[in-house]
Structure 1
Amino acid sequence: MGSFEYRVSLHPVEDFREMILFCSREGSCKAEMVASEQIRKMENLLNEGGLQGWELVQANFGQDGVLVFWKRQMH
């Protein structure tokens, strides 16, 4: 089994404001309620990490932004 290295990155709430608040008041959450610009920003973030060999482990959305956990195999 290989060894991994890990990285944690924080991305400001301004970049993902609409993605954090995508549920209705009734509690219904649908992907189409997320603005397409917000989806593109997330895709770009994930693709940038992927190009450097990082794999997304988890993304946590909070009032201060998005905390992203990455891992990649060490060579």
Structure 2
Amino acid sequence: MIQWDYQITLHEIPEPKIEKQSHTIECDQNGQCFVHDALLGGLEWLEDLFREKGRNGWELVQSGYHHRELLCIWKKKKQARTKV
């Protein structure tokens, strides 16, 4: 059976590089709407985070956004223990 290690990380989303404040409103098919800051600063920081974690064997399971912070849940296969 495959066993997993898990890691939970919290990342502060960088401030936008553009001074103009922008908001995005998105609505789902049920009519629920969400207002959030547009990522004017780009996504390079997020791509760098994914690359770094991926190089170390971590796979993103889930993420959530709240008040300019991104919570990430990662998993990777546990190293097999050798019997002596």
Report 1 or 2 for greater relative contact order, CA contacts < 8 Å, sequence distance ≥ 6: 1
User: Which segments of 5 or more consecutive residues in structure 1 lack a partner in the other structure?
Assistant: none
Percent identity between the two aligned chains: 27
- Equivalenced residues, count: 65
The structure with more helix, counted as a fraction of residues: 1
Task: Please give the TM-score of this superposition, normalised by the length of structure 1.
Answer: 0.69
**RMSD between superposed Cα atoms in Å:** 2.5
Q: Does 1:23 align with 2:24?
A: yes
The structure with more strand, counted as a fraction of residues: 2
Show the counterpart of 2:8: 8
User: Which segments of 5 or more consecutive residues in structure 2 lack a partner in the other structure?
Assistant: 17-21, 28-37, 80-84
Change (3 A) 1:54 1:22: farther
Task: Please give the TM-score of this superposition, normalised by the length of structure 2.
Answer: 0.63
Amino acid at match of 1:23: T
Change (3 A) 1:59 1:38: farther
Q: Which structure has the larger Rg?
A: 2
Task: Give the superposition deviation at 1:64.
Answer: 4.5
